[in-house]
Structure 1
Amino acid sequence: MIAETAYAKINLALHVRARRPDGYHDIETVFAFCADGDGISAEAADELSLSITGPFADGLPVDEGNLVLRAAGAMQAHFNVRTGARITLDKRLPVAAGLGGGSADAAAAARALNRLWRLDASEAALCDAIGRLGADVAACVASRPALGKGVGDALLPPPADTPVSATPILLVNPLKLCPTGPVYQGWDGADRGSLAIVRSGWRNDLTPGAVALVPEIGMALYLLDEIGTAHFVRMSGSGATCFALFETEAARDAARDEIAAQQPDWWTCASVLR
Protein backbone atom coordinates (compact mmCIF):
# COMPACT_ATOMS: atom_id res chain seq x y z
CA MET A 1 0.00 0.00 0.00
CA ILE A 2 1.36 3.40 -1.06
CA ALA A 3 0.02 6.54 0.63
CA GLU A 4 0.25 10.20 -0.40
CA THR A 5 -1.26 13.44 0.86
CA ALA A 6 -3.04 15.70 -1.60
CA TYR A 7 -1.84 18.87 0.07
CA ALA A 8 -4.38 21.70 0.23
CA LYS A 9 -3.39 24.43 -2.22
CA ILE A 10 -3.57 28.07 -1.09
CA ASN A 11 -3.45 31.13 -3.32
CA LEU A 12 -1.69 33.75 -1.21
CA ALA A 13 -2.35 36.14 -4.07
CA LEU A 14 -4.41 35.89 -7.25
CA HIS A 15 -4.09 38.85 -9.60
CA VAL A 16 -6.27 38.54 -12.70
CA ARG A 17 -4.61 40.42 -15.56
CA ALA A 18 -6.67 39.72 -18.69
CA ARG A 19 -9.27 37.52 -20.33
CA ARG A 20 -7.84 35.29 -23.04
CA PRO A 21 -9.47 34.45 -26.38
CA ASP A 22 -9.62 30.77 -25.33
CA GLY A 23 -11.89 31.60 -22.39
CA TYR A 24 -9.20 31.30 -19.73
CA HIS A 25 -7.55 34.19 -17.88
CA ASP A 26 -3.97 35.35 -17.55
CA ILE A 27 -3.16 35.48 -13.86
CA GLU A 28 -0.33 35.99 -11.43
CA THR A 29 -0.64 33.87 -8.32
CA VAL A 30 1.47 32.82 -5.36
CA PHE A 31 0.93 29.16 -4.59
CA ALA A 32 1.51 27.74 -1.13
CA PHE A 33 0.49 24.39 0.35
CA CYS A 34 -0.74 23.23 3.74
CA ALA A 35 0.61 20.17 5.49
CA ASP A 36 -2.95 18.76 5.52
CA GLY A 37 -5.21 17.67 2.70
CA ASP A 38 -7.01 14.73 1.15
CA GLY A 39 -5.49 11.27 1.35
CA ILE A 40 -4.61 8.98 -1.56
CA SER A 41 -3.67 5.33 -1.22
CA ALA A 42 -2.88 2.86 -3.98
CA GLU A 43 -2.21 -0.86 -4.10
CA ALA A 44 -1.44 -3.26 -6.91
CA ALA A 45 -4.34 -4.59 -8.99
CA ASP A 46 -5.01 -5.90 -12.49
CA GLU A 47 -7.24 -2.96 -13.45
CA LEU A 48 -7.64 0.66 -12.44
CA SER A 49 -10.38 1.36 -9.90
CA LEU A 50 -11.31 4.15 -7.52
CA SER A 51 -13.22 4.23 -4.26
CA ILE A 52 -13.90 7.31 -2.18
CA THR A 53 -14.24 7.64 1.59
CA GLY A 54 -14.17 10.56 3.99
CA PRO A 55 -16.47 13.35 5.17
CA PHE A 56 -16.79 14.94 1.71
CA ALA A 57 -17.16 11.78 -0.36
CA ASP A 58 -20.89 12.07 -1.07
CA GLY A 59 -21.76 12.62 -4.69
CA LEU A 60 -18.24 12.38 -6.08
CA PRO A 61 -17.86 10.21 -9.20
CA VAL A 62 -15.71 7.10 -9.16
CA ASP A 63 -15.44 6.89 -12.96
CA GLU A 64 -13.62 8.99 -15.57
CA GLY A 65 -15.46 12.02 -14.25
CA ASN A 66 -12.99 12.03 -11.36
CA LEU A 67 -9.56 13.56 -11.99
CA VAL A 68 -7.91 10.86 -9.88
CA LEU A 69 -8.94 8.11 -12.27
CA ARG A 70 -8.15 10.31 -15.29
CA ALA A 71 -4.69 10.94 -13.85
CA ALA A 72 -4.17 7.22 -13.37
CA GLY A 73 -5.17 6.54 -16.96
CA ALA A 74 -2.87 9.30 -18.19
CA MET A 75 -0.01 7.80 -16.18
CA GLN A 76 -0.64 4.37 -17.71
CA ALA A 77 -0.65 5.77 -21.22
CA HIS A 78 2.33 8.10 -20.80
CA PHE A 79 4.59 5.52 -19.18
CA ASN A 80 3.21 2.49 -21.05
CA VAL A 81 2.16 0.73 -17.85
CA ARG A 82 0.20 -2.49 -18.36
CA THR A 83 -0.83 -3.16 -14.75
CA GLY A 84 -3.52 -1.38 -12.77
CA ALA A 85 -4.06 -0.08 -9.27
CA ARG A 86 -6.77 0.00 -6.65
CA ILE A 87 -6.92 3.63 -5.57
CA THR A 88 -8.73 5.07 -2.56
CA LEU A 89 -9.40 8.79 -2.14
CA ASP A 90 -10.05 9.92 1.43
CA LYS A 91 -11.88 13.19 0.76
CA ARG A 92 -11.16 15.39 3.79
CA LEU A 93 -11.38 18.82 2.10
CA PRO A 94 -14.61 20.50 0.98
CA VAL A 95 -15.48 20.37 -2.71
CA ALA A 96 -15.34 23.51 -4.92
CA ALA A 97 -13.45 25.21 -2.12
CA GLY A 98 -10.52 27.00 -3.79
CA LEU A 99 -8.05 24.49 -2.32
CA GLY A 100 -6.91 22.76 -5.47
CA GLY A 101 -9.25 19.83 -4.84
CA GLY A 102 -9.26 17.70 -7.95
CA SER A 103 -5.87 18.96 -9.12
CA ALA A 104 -4.22 18.12 -5.80
CA ASP A 105 -5.90 14.70 -5.76
CA ALA A 106 -4.73 13.99 -9.32
CA ALA A 107 -1.19 15.06 -8.47
CA ALA A 108 -1.10 12.91 -5.33
CA ALA A 109 -2.40 9.95 -7.33
CA ALA A 110 0.40 10.45 -9.87
CA ARG A 111 3.00 10.56 -7.09
CA ALA A 112 1.54 7.41 -5.51
CA LEU A 113 1.47 5.51 -8.80
CA ASN A 114 5.00 6.65 -9.58
CA ARG A 115 6.09 4.83 -6.44
CA LEU A 116 3.72 1.86 -6.78
CA TRP A 117 4.77 1.15 -10.36
CA ARG A 118 8.43 1.98 -9.60
CA LEU A 119 8.68 4.41 -12.50
CA ASP A 120 11.25 6.70 -10.88
CA ALA A 121 9.77 9.55 -12.91
CA SER A 122 10.79 13.14 -12.22
CA GLU A 123 8.32 15.87 -11.28
CA ALA A 124 8.69 17.24 -14.80
CA ALA A 125 7.79 13.85 -16.26
CA LEU A 126 4.74 13.60 -14.01
CA CYS A 127 3.64 17.05 -15.20
CA ASP A 128 4.07 15.89 -18.79
CA ALA A 129 1.83 12.92 -18.03
CA ILE A 130 -1.03 14.68 -16.21
CA GLY A 131 -0.50 18.43 -16.65
CA ARG A 132 -3.30 18.77 -19.19
CA LEU A 133 -5.87 17.85 -16.55
CA GLY A 134 -5.89 21.35 -15.03
CA ALA A 135 -4.08 24.65 -14.69
CA ASP A 136 -3.17 23.96 -11.03
CA VAL A 137 -1.89 20.43 -11.62
CA ALA A 138 1.75 21.37 -12.24
CA ALA A 139 1.92 23.34 -8.99
CA CYS A 140 0.22 20.51 -7.10
CA VAL A 141 2.67 17.88 -8.36
CA ALA A 142 5.49 19.64 -6.52
CA SER A 143 3.26 21.06 -3.75
CA ARG A 144 5.90 23.70 -2.97
CA PRO A 145 5.59 27.49 -2.92
CA ALA A 146 5.76 28.97 -6.41
CA LEU A 147 4.85 32.00 -8.48
CA GLY A 148 2.37 31.00 -11.16
CA LYS A 149 1.84 32.92 -14.39
CA GLY A 150 -0.09 32.37 -17.60
CA VAL A 151 -3.14 30.36 -16.55
CA GLY A 152 -1.17 29.34 -13.45
CA ASP A 153 0.84 26.60 -15.11
CA ALA A 154 4.02 28.60 -15.80
CA LEU A 155 5.90 28.19 -12.53
CA LEU A 156 8.70 30.39 -11.21
CA PRO A 157 10.42 30.68 -7.80
CA PRO A 158 8.13 32.26 -5.20
CA PRO A 159 8.47 35.93 -4.21
CA ALA A 160 10.85 36.69 -1.37
CA ASP A 161 7.97 37.70 0.92
CA THR A 162 6.27 34.29 0.68
CA PRO A 163 5.60 32.92 4.19
CA VAL A 164 8.09 30.33 5.37
CA SER A 165 7.46 26.66 6.04
CA ALA A 166 5.67 25.83 9.32
CA THR A 167 3.79 29.18 9.38
CA PRO A 168 0.51 28.50 11.24
CA ILE A 169 -2.55 28.81 9.01
CA LEU A 170 -6.29 28.54 9.65
CA LEU A 171 -8.66 27.55 6.84
CA VAL A 172 -12.33 28.49 7.12
CA ASN A 173 -15.07 27.45 4.72
CA PRO A 174 -18.79 28.20 5.15
CA LEU A 175 -19.60 24.99 3.23
CA LYS A 176 -21.29 26.77 0.35
CA LEU A 177 -20.39 25.68 -3.17
CA CYS A 178 -18.53 28.37 -5.06
CA PRO A 179 -18.04 27.21 -8.68
CA THR A 180 -15.00 28.60 -10.44
CA GLY A 181 -16.65 29.51 -13.74
CA PRO A 182 -19.27 31.93 -12.40
CA VAL A 183 -16.69 33.54 -10.09
CA TYR A 184 -14.37 34.30 -13.00
CA GLN A 185 -17.34 35.58 -14.98
CA GLY A 186 -17.95 38.01 -12.14
CA TRP A 187 -14.48 39.57 -12.56
CA ASP A 188 -14.98 43.16 -13.71
CA GLY A 189 -12.18 43.03 -16.30
CA ALA A 190 -10.02 45.69 -14.63
CA ASP A 191 -6.28 44.97 -14.56
CA ARG A 192 -5.19 46.25 -11.16
CA GLY A 193 -1.52 45.56 -11.69
CA SER A 194 1.08 42.90 -11.15
CA LEU A 195 2.20 41.35 -7.90
CA ALA A 196 3.73 43.75 -5.42
CA ILE A 197 7.09 43.01 -3.86
CA VAL A 198 5.67 42.89 -0.35
CA ARG A 199 2.89 40.63 0.82
CA SER A 200 0.64 43.46 2.02
CA GLY A 201 0.06 44.41 -1.61
CA TRP A 202 -1.08 40.94 -2.67
CA ARG A 203 -4.73 40.73 -3.72
CA ASN A 204 -7.30 38.18 -4.74
CA ASP A 205 -9.16 39.85 -7.60
CA LEU A 206 -11.83 37.14 -7.54
CA THR A 207 -13.03 38.01 -4.04
CA PRO A 208 -15.77 40.51 -5.03
CA GLY A 209 -17.31 38.06 -7.52
CA ALA A 210 -17.14 35.20 -5.03
CA VAL A 211 -18.71 37.27 -2.25
CA ALA A 212 -21.53 38.27 -4.61
CA LEU A 213 -22.28 34.58 -5.16
CA VAL A 214 -21.64 33.42 -1.58
CA PRO A 215 -22.05 36.28 0.92
CA GLU A 216 -20.79 34.01 3.72
CA ILE A 217 -17.30 34.42 2.25
CA GLY A 218 -17.43 38.09 3.19
CA MET A 219 -18.50 37.10 6.70
CA ALA A 220 -15.60 34.63 6.99
CA LEU A 221 -13.08 37.29 5.93
CA TYR A 222 -14.62 39.76 8.38
CA LEU A 223 -14.47 37.32 11.29
CA LEU A 224 -10.85 36.37 10.60
CA ASP A 225 -9.90 40.05 10.49
CA GLU A 226 -12.01 40.94 13.51
CA ILE A 227 -10.32 38.38 15.76
CA GLY A 228 -7.27 40.60 15.45
CA THR A 229 -4.42 38.10 15.83
CA ALA A 230 -3.92 37.14 12.17
CA HIS A 231 -1.31 39.02 10.15
CA PHE A 232 -2.61 38.08 6.69
CA VAL A 233 -6.21 37.26 5.69
CA ARG A 234 -7.41 36.41 2.17
CA MET A 235 -9.71 34.17 0.17
CA SER A 236 -8.03 31.25 -1.62
CA GLY A 237 -8.54 30.68 -5.33
CA SER A 238 -12.11 31.26 -6.44
CA GLY A 239 -13.47 30.53 -2.94
CA ALA A 240 -15.19 29.61 -0.78
CA THR A 241 -12.27 28.87 1.57
CA CYS A 242 -10.70 31.81 3.38
CA PHE A 243 -7.48 31.64 5.35
CA ALA A 244 -5.45 33.52 7.92
CA LEU A 245 -1.77 33.34 8.80
CA PHE A 246 -0.63 33.60 12.42
CA GLU A 247 2.59 34.04 14.35
CA THR A 248 1.90 31.12 16.69
CA GLU A 249 -0.10 27.91 16.71
CA ALA A 250 -1.73 29.00 19.96
CA ALA A 251 -3.11 32.15 18.30
CA ARG A 252 -4.30 30.08 15.34
CA ASP A 253 -6.05 27.55 17.57
CA ALA A 254 -7.73 30.26 19.62
CA ALA A 255 -9.01 31.83 16.41
CA ARG A 256 -10.32 28.46 15.25
CA ASP A 257 -12.17 27.98 18.52
CA GLU A 258 -13.73 31.44 18.25
CA ILE A 259 -14.85 30.88 14.66
CA ALA A 260 -16.28 27.47 15.58
CA ALA A 261 -18.20 28.99 18.48
CA GLN A 262 -19.73 31.69 16.27
CA GLN A 263 -20.31 29.50 13.20
CA PRO A 264 -20.55 25.86 14.35
CA ASP A 265 -21.72 24.66 10.93
CA TRP A 266 -18.64 25.96 9.10
CA TRP A 267 -15.61 23.84 8.28
CA THR A 268 -12.26 24.79 9.80
CA CYS A 269 -8.79 23.30 9.54
CA ALA A 270 -5.82 24.32 11.68
CA SER A 271 -2.64 23.52 9.77
CA VAL A 272 0.82 24.85 8.88
CA LEU A 273 2.38 25.73 5.57
CA ARG A 274 4.75 23.20 4.00
Structure 2
Amino acid sequence: MLVARCPAKINLTLHILGRRGDGYHELESLVAFTGAGDTLTLLPGPELSLDISGPTAPAAGGGNDNLVLRAARNLAARIDGLTLGAFRLEKRLPVAAGIGGGSSDAAAALRLLARANGLAPDDPRLHDAARATGADVPVCLGARARMMRGAGETLGEALRLPLLPAVLINPGVPVETRPVFARLGLQPGERLGGAAHPEIACGASAGELWSNLAKGRNDLEDAACLQAPVIVDVLAVLRAARGCKLARMSGSGATCFALFAAPGAAARAACAIRAQHPEWWVKTAALR
Protein backbone atom coordinates (compact mmCIF):
# COMPACT_ATOMS: atom_id res chain seq x y z
CA MET A 1 0.00 0.00 0.00
CA LEU A 2 1.43 3.37 -1.07
CA VAL A 3 0.39 6.53 0.76
CA ALA A 4 0.50 10.22 -0.20
CA ARG A 5 -0.76 13.38 1.44
CA CYS A 6 -2.90 15.84 -0.50
CA PRO A 7 -2.30 19.27 1.10
CA ALA A 8 -4.53 22.27 0.54
CA LYS A 9 -3.31 24.86 -1.98
CA ILE A 10 -3.55 28.48 -0.81
CA ASN A 11 -3.36 31.36 -3.27
CA LEU A 12 -1.55 34.02 -1.26
CA THR A 13 -2.04 36.31 -4.25
CA LEU A 14 -4.11 35.94 -7.41
CA HIS A 15 -3.71 38.60 -10.11
CA ILE A 16 -5.82 38.23 -13.26
CA LEU A 17 -3.97 39.76 -16.21
CA GLY A 18 -6.67 39.24 -18.81
CA ARG A 19 -8.36 36.64 -20.94
CA ARG A 20 -6.43 34.88 -23.66
CA GLY A 21 -7.63 34.27 -27.18
CA ASP A 22 -8.27 30.61 -26.34
CA GLY A 23 -10.76 31.69 -23.65
CA TYR A 24 -8.59 30.87 -20.63
CA HIS A 25 -7.88 33.59 -18.08
CA GLU A 26 -4.21 34.49 -17.68
CA LEU A 27 -3.05 34.86 -14.10
CA GLU A 28 -0.12 35.35 -11.77
CA SER A 29 -0.38 33.73 -8.34
CA LEU A 30 1.89 33.05 -5.41
CA VAL A 31 0.86 29.62 -4.18
CA ALA A 32 1.69 27.95 -0.87
CA PHE A 33 0.59 24.67 0.70
CA THR A 34 -0.59 23.46 4.07
CA GLY A 35 1.04 20.58 5.90
CA ALA A 36 -2.13 18.50 6.04
CA GLY A 37 -5.23 17.81 3.99
CA ASP A 38 -6.65 14.71 2.34
CA THR A 39 -4.89 11.33 2.29
CA LEU A 40 -4.69 9.07 -0.76
CA THR A 41 -3.54 5.45 -0.81
CA LEU A 42 -2.90 3.11 -3.73
CA LEU A 43 -2.86 -0.66 -3.82
CA PRO A 44 -1.17 -1.34 -7.19
CA GLY A 45 -2.98 -3.74 -9.49
CA PRO A 46 -4.34 -4.20 -13.00
CA GLU A 47 -7.71 -2.49 -12.46
CA LEU A 48 -8.42 1.15 -11.72
CA SER A 49 -10.88 1.96 -8.93
CA LEU A 50 -11.57 4.63 -6.31
CA ASP A 51 -13.19 4.44 -2.88
CA ILE A 52 -13.88 7.68 -0.99
CA SER A 53 -14.48 8.12 2.74
CA GLY A 54 -14.06 10.89 5.27
CA PRO A 55 -16.07 13.87 6.54
CA THR A 56 -16.36 15.64 3.18
CA ALA A 57 -16.67 12.51 1.03
CA PRO A 58 -20.36 13.00 0.14
CA ALA A 59 -19.55 16.24 -1.69
CA ALA A 60 -16.45 14.91 -3.44
CA GLY A 61 -18.13 12.89 -6.18
CA GLY A 62 -17.06 9.30 -6.67
CA GLY A 63 -17.96 8.83 -10.33
CA ASN A 64 -15.68 8.42 -13.31
CA ASP A 65 -15.24 12.19 -13.49
CA ASN A 66 -13.40 12.35 -10.15
CA LEU A 67 -10.03 14.02 -10.69
CA VAL A 68 -8.12 11.09 -9.15
CA LEU A 69 -9.48 8.73 -11.81
CA ARG A 70 -9.14 11.34 -14.54
CA ALA A 71 -5.45 11.87 -13.68
CA ALA A 72 -4.81 8.11 -13.68
CA ARG A 73 -6.46 7.71 -17.08
CA ASN A 74 -4.52 10.66 -18.50
CA LEU A 75 -1.24 9.11 -17.38
CA ALA A 76 -2.23 5.67 -18.68
CA ALA A 77 -2.94 7.25 -22.07
CA ARG A 78 0.69 8.41 -22.17
CA ILE A 79 2.41 5.26 -20.87
CA ASP A 80 1.66 1.83 -22.35
CA GLY A 81 1.28 -0.92 -19.77
CA LEU A 82 1.03 1.47 -16.81
CA THR A 83 0.29 -0.34 -13.54
CA LEU A 84 -2.86 1.18 -12.04
CA GLY A 85 -4.65 -0.10 -8.94
CA ALA A 86 -7.20 0.62 -6.24
CA PHE A 87 -7.19 4.15 -4.81
CA ARG A 88 -8.69 5.03 -1.45
CA LEU A 89 -9.24 8.70 -0.67
CA GLU A 90 -9.78 10.01 2.87
CA LYS A 91 -11.49 13.32 2.13
CA ARG A 92 -11.14 16.03 4.79
CA LEU A 93 -10.84 19.26 2.78
CA PRO A 94 -14.01 21.12 1.80
CA VAL A 95 -15.09 20.77 -1.82
CA ALA A 96 -15.44 23.67 -4.33
CA ALA A 97 -13.59 25.77 -1.77
CA GLY A 98 -10.79 27.57 -3.65
CA ILE A 99 -8.02 25.51 -2.05
CA GLY A 100 -7.43 22.97 -4.82
CA GLY A 101 -8.58 19.91 -2.89
CA GLY A 102 -9.51 17.91 -5.98
CA SER A 103 -6.41 19.08 -7.84
CA SER A 104 -4.19 18.07 -4.92
CA ASP A 105 -5.88 14.65 -4.84
CA ALA A 106 -5.20 14.24 -8.57
CA ALA A 107 -1.55 15.29 -8.16
CA ALA A 108 -1.15 12.76 -5.34
CA ALA A 109 -2.57 10.06 -7.62
CA LEU A 110 0.08 10.88 -10.21
CA ARG A 111 2.83 10.77 -7.57
CA LEU A 112 1.62 7.37 -6.32
CA LEU A 113 1.43 5.95 -9.84
CA ALA A 114 4.95 7.25 -10.47
CA ARG A 115 6.19 5.36 -7.41
CA ALA A 116 4.32 2.20 -8.40
CA ASN A 117 5.80 2.30 -11.90
CA GLY A 118 9.33 3.52 -11.13
CA LEU A 119 8.88 6.89 -12.84
CA ALA A 120 11.11 9.82 -11.93
CA PRO A 121 9.30 12.75 -10.24
CA ASP A 122 10.32 15.02 -13.13
CA ASP A 123 9.14 12.64 -15.87
CA PRO A 124 7.56 14.96 -18.46
CA ARG A 125 4.65 12.54 -18.94
CA LEU A 126 3.58 13.20 -15.34
CA HIS A 127 3.43 16.93 -16.02
CA ASP A 128 1.62 16.39 -19.31
CA ALA A 129 -0.99 14.28 -17.54
CA ALA A 130 -1.30 16.90 -14.80
CA ARG A 131 -1.93 19.68 -17.32
CA ALA A 132 -4.53 17.55 -19.10
CA THR A 133 -6.34 16.92 -15.79
CA GLY A 134 -6.78 20.47 -14.54
CA ALA A 135 -5.24 23.94 -14.33
CA ASP A 136 -4.18 23.61 -10.67
CA VAL A 137 -2.85 20.04 -10.88
CA PRO A 138 0.68 20.91 -12.15
CA VAL A 139 1.43 23.23 -9.21
CA CYS A 140 0.08 20.59 -6.81
CA LEU A 141 2.49 17.93 -8.12
CA GLY A 142 5.41 19.37 -6.17
CA ALA A 143 3.25 20.91 -3.40
CA ARG A 144 5.85 23.61 -2.78
CA ALA A 145 5.47 27.38 -2.65
CA ARG A 146 6.07 28.93 -6.06
CA MET A 147 4.69 31.36 -8.62
CA MET A 148 2.07 30.04 -11.02
CA ARG A 149 1.42 31.85 -14.30
CA GLY A 150 -0.52 31.59 -17.53
CA ALA A 151 -3.55 29.34 -17.09
CA GLY A 152 -1.61 27.36 -14.48
CA GLU A 153 0.80 25.67 -16.89
CA THR A 154 3.84 27.91 -16.25
CA LEU A 155 5.52 27.32 -12.89
CA GLY A 156 8.35 29.20 -11.24
CA GLU A 157 11.08 27.65 -9.12
CA ALA A 158 10.21 26.34 -5.67
CA LEU A 159 10.50 29.12 -3.09
CA ARG A 160 11.74 29.03 0.50
CA LEU A 161 9.26 31.08 2.47
CA PRO A 162 9.52 32.11 6.11
CA LEU A 163 7.09 30.42 8.47
CA LEU A 164 3.55 31.58 7.69
CA PRO A 165 1.19 30.61 10.53
CA ALA A 166 -2.36 30.82 9.21
CA VAL A 167 -6.01 30.33 10.03
CA LEU A 168 -8.19 28.93 7.26
CA ILE A 169 -11.97 29.33 7.22
CA ASN A 170 -14.55 27.86 4.90
CA PRO A 171 -18.15 28.83 5.70
CA GLY A 172 -19.60 25.68 4.19
CA VAL A 173 -20.84 27.30 0.98
CA PRO A 174 -19.49 25.70 -2.23
CA VAL A 175 -18.43 28.21 -4.88
CA GLU A 176 -18.07 27.09 -8.49
CA THR A 177 -15.06 28.55 -10.25
CA ARG A 178 -16.58 29.18 -13.68
CA PRO A 179 -19.32 31.66 -12.59
CA VAL A 180 -16.79 33.63 -10.53
CA PHE A 181 -14.52 34.11 -13.55
CA ALA A 182 -17.57 34.91 -15.68
CA ARG A 183 -18.44 37.81 -13.34
CA LEU A 184 -15.20 39.52 -14.40
CA GLY A 185 -16.86 40.02 -17.78
CA LEU A 186 -13.64 39.74 -19.78
CA GLN A 187 -13.85 38.95 -23.48
CA PRO A 188 -11.14 36.87 -25.23
CA GLY A 189 -8.15 39.13 -25.82
CA GLU A 190 -9.24 41.69 -23.19
CA ARG A 191 -6.81 42.74 -20.46
CA LEU A 192 -7.59 43.61 -16.84
CA GLY A 193 -5.78 46.58 -15.36
CA GLY A 194 -4.04 46.63 -12.01
CA ALA A 195 -0.64 46.96 -10.39
CA ALA A 196 1.98 44.42 -11.42
CA HIS A 197 2.61 41.45 -9.18
CA PRO A 198 5.45 42.11 -6.71
CA GLU A 199 8.64 40.14 -7.18
CA ILE A 200 8.90 37.24 -4.72
CA ALA A 201 12.52 36.27 -4.10
CA CYS A 202 13.54 32.81 -2.89
CA GLY A 203 14.72 33.04 0.70
CA ALA A 204 13.23 36.51 1.23
CA SER A 205 13.13 37.71 4.81
CA ALA A 206 9.87 37.77 6.72
CA GLY A 207 9.74 41.56 6.44
CA GLU A 208 10.25 41.50 2.68
CA LEU A 209 7.61 38.82 2.24
CA TRP A 210 5.03 40.64 4.37
CA SER A 211 5.64 43.82 2.39
CA ASN A 212 5.23 42.06 -0.95
CA LEU A 213 2.13 40.16 0.15
CA ALA A 214 0.52 43.45 1.19
CA LYS A 215 1.09 44.76 -2.35
CA GLY A 216 -0.68 41.75 -3.83
CA ARG A 217 -4.39 41.02 -4.12
CA ASN A 218 -6.97 38.47 -5.22
CA ASP A 219 -8.77 39.81 -8.28
CA LEU A 220 -11.55 37.24 -7.88
CA GLU A 221 -12.48 38.36 -4.37
CA ASP A 222 -15.17 40.90 -5.32
CA ALA A 223 -16.77 38.56 -7.85
CA ALA A 224 -16.80 35.69 -5.36
CA CYS A 225 -18.37 37.91 -2.68
CA LEU A 226 -21.23 38.61 -5.08
CA GLN A 227 -21.57 34.88 -5.67
CA ALA A 228 -21.40 34.02 -1.95
CA PRO A 229 -21.89 37.08 0.29
CA VAL A 230 -20.88 35.11 3.39
CA ILE A 231 -17.27 35.58 2.24
CA VAL A 232 -17.57 39.22 3.30
CA ASP A 233 -18.43 38.05 6.83
CA VAL A 234 -15.54 35.57 6.91
CA LEU A 235 -13.02 38.21 5.86
CA ALA A 236 -14.36 40.65 8.45
CA VAL A 237 -13.99 38.06 11.22
CA LEU A 238 -10.44 37.21 10.17
CA ARG A 239 -9.35 40.84 9.87
CA ALA A 240 -10.72 41.54 13.34
CA ALA A 241 -8.75 38.66 14.89
CA ARG A 242 -6.02 39.77 17.28
CA GLY A 243 -2.62 39.47 15.63
CA CYS A 244 -3.92 39.17 12.07
CA LYS A 245 -1.37 40.66 9.66
CA LEU A 246 -3.18 39.90 6.40
CA ALA A 247 -6.54 38.35 5.45
CA ARG A 248 -7.52 37.38 1.92
CA MET A 249 -9.61 34.91 -0.04
CA SER A 250 -7.92 31.89 -1.65
CA GLY A 251 -8.57 30.99 -5.28
CA SER A 252 -12.17 31.55 -6.34
CA GLY A 253 -13.46 31.09 -2.76
CA ALA A 254 -15.13 30.59 -0.47
CA THR A 255 -12.15 29.64 1.73
CA CYS A 256 -10.33 32.61 3.24
CA PHE A 257 -7.09 32.78 5.21
CA ALA A 258 -5.44 35.06 7.73
CA LEU A 259 -1.69 35.17 8.34
CA PHE A 260 -0.15 35.72 11.77
CA ALA A 261 3.34 36.43 13.05
CA ALA A 262 3.40 33.42 15.41
CA PRO A 263 1.68 30.01 15.59
CA GLY A 264 0.32 30.78 19.07
CA ALA A 265 -1.56 33.84 17.79
CA ALA A 266 -3.07 31.78 14.97
CA ALA A 267 -4.14 29.04 17.37
CA ARG A 268 -5.81 31.50 19.74
CA ALA A 269 -7.63 33.20 16.88
CA ALA A 270 -8.86 29.87 15.50
CA CYS A 271 -10.13 28.83 18.92
CA ALA A 272 -12.07 32.08 19.37
CA ILE A 273 -13.55 31.97 15.85
CA ARG A 274 -14.53 28.32 16.20
CA ALA A 275 -16.40 29.12 19.42
CA GLN A 276 -18.31 31.95 17.73
CA HIS A 277 -18.98 30.09 14.47
CA PRO A 278 -19.15 26.34 15.15
CA GLU A 279 -20.81 25.82 11.77
CA TRP A 280 -17.68 26.99 9.91
CA TRP A 281 -14.69 24.84 8.94
CA VAL A 282 -11.84 26.49 10.87
CA LYS A 283 -8.29 25.15 10.76
CA THR A 284 -4.81 26.34 11.68
CA ALA A 285 -1.99 25.72 9.23
CA ALA A 286 1.69 26.41 8.64
CA LEU A 287 2.01 27.42 5.00
CA ARG A 288 5.12 26.54 3.04
TM-score by length of 2: 0.89
RMSD: 1.7
Is the counterpart of residue 179 in structure 1 residue 168 in structure 2? no
Q: Is the 8 A contact 1:35 1:273 kept in 2?
A: yes
Give the aligned residue type for 1:171.
L
Is the counterpart of residue 88 in structure 1 residue 85 in structure 2? no
Instruction: Tell me the equivalent position of 2:61.
Output: 61
Post-superposition offset of 1:102:
1.6
Q: Is the 8 A contact 1:42 1:88 kept in 2?
A: yes
Instruction: Tell me the equivalent position of 1:133.
Output: 133
Q: Is the 8 A contact 2:165 2:260 kept in 1?
A: yes
Post-superposition offset of 1:62:
2.5
Instruction: Tell me the equivalent position of 1:209.
Output: 223
Post-superposition offset of 1:117:
2.5
Is the counterpart of residue 218 in structure 1 residue 232 in structure 2? yes
Post-superposition offset of 1:261:
1.4
Q: Is the 8 A contact 1:3 1:112 kept in 2?
A: yes
Give the aligned residue type for 1:167.
L
Is the counterpart of residue 250 in structure 1 residue 264 in structure 2? yes
Q: Is the 8 A contact 2:165 2:262 kept in 1?
A: yes
- Using the TM superposition, name which of 130-139 and 46-55 deviates more: 130-139
Is the counterpart of residue 196 in structure 1 residue 193 in structure 2? no
- The count of residues paired between Structure 1 and Structure 2 equals 271
Give the aligned residue type for 2:110.
A
Is the counterpart of residue 168 in structure 1 residue 182 in structure 2? no
Quick one: structure 1 residues 121 and 145, their matched pair in 2 at CA, closer, same or farther if it must change by over 3 Å? closer
Q: Is the 8 A contact 1:15 1:27 kept in 2?
A: yes
- Using the TM superposition, name which of 16-25 and 90-99 deviates more: 16-25
Post-superposition offset of 1:121:
4.4
Pick from 266, 269, 281 the counterpart of residue 267 of structure 1: 281
Q: Name the SS of the counterpart of 1:223 in structure 2.
A: helix
Pick from 234, 258, 264 the counterpart of residue 248 of structure 2: 234
Equivalents in 2 of 1:233, 1:158: separation in Å?
A: 23
Instruction: Tell me the equivalent position of 1:73.
Output: 73
- Aligned residues with identical type, % of pairs: 40
Q: Is the 8 A contact 1:75 1:81 kept in 2?
A: no
TM-score by length of 1: 0.93
Q: Name the SS of the counterpart of 1:13 in structure 2.
A: coil
Equivalents in 1 of 2:158, 2:88: separation in Å?
A: 32
Q: Is the 8 A contact 1:51 1:89 kept in 2?
A: yes
Question: Which digits, 9 at most, give the CA deviation of each residue in 1:125-181, with x for residues without a partner?
Answer: 41123321111111000111111111122112368xx842x4211110001011101
Q: Is the 8 A contact 2:5 2:108 kept in 1?
A: yes
Question: Which digits, 9 at most, give the CA deviation of each residue in 1:48-73, with x for residues without a partner?
Answer: 00000111100433332101011111
Q: Deviating runs (4+, > 3 A) in structure 1?
A: none
Q: Name the SS of the counterpart of 1:58 in structure 2.
A: helix
Quick one: structure 1 residues 209 and 123, their matched pair in 2 at CA, closer, same or farther if it must change by over 3 Å? farther
Q: Is the 8 A contact 2:147 2:156 kept in 1?
A: yes
Equivalents in 2 of 1:238, 1:229: separation in Å?
A: 25
Q: Is the 8 A contact 1:30 1:158 kept in 2?
A: no
Instruction: Tell me the equivalent position of 1:51.
Output: 51
Give the aligned residue type for 1:202.
G
Quick one: structure 1 residues 123 and 218, their matched pair in 2 at CA, closer, same or farther if it must change by over 3 Å? farther
Q: Is the 8 A contact 2:74 2:132 kept in 1?
A: no
Q: Name the SS of the counterpart of 1:79 in structure 2.
A: coil
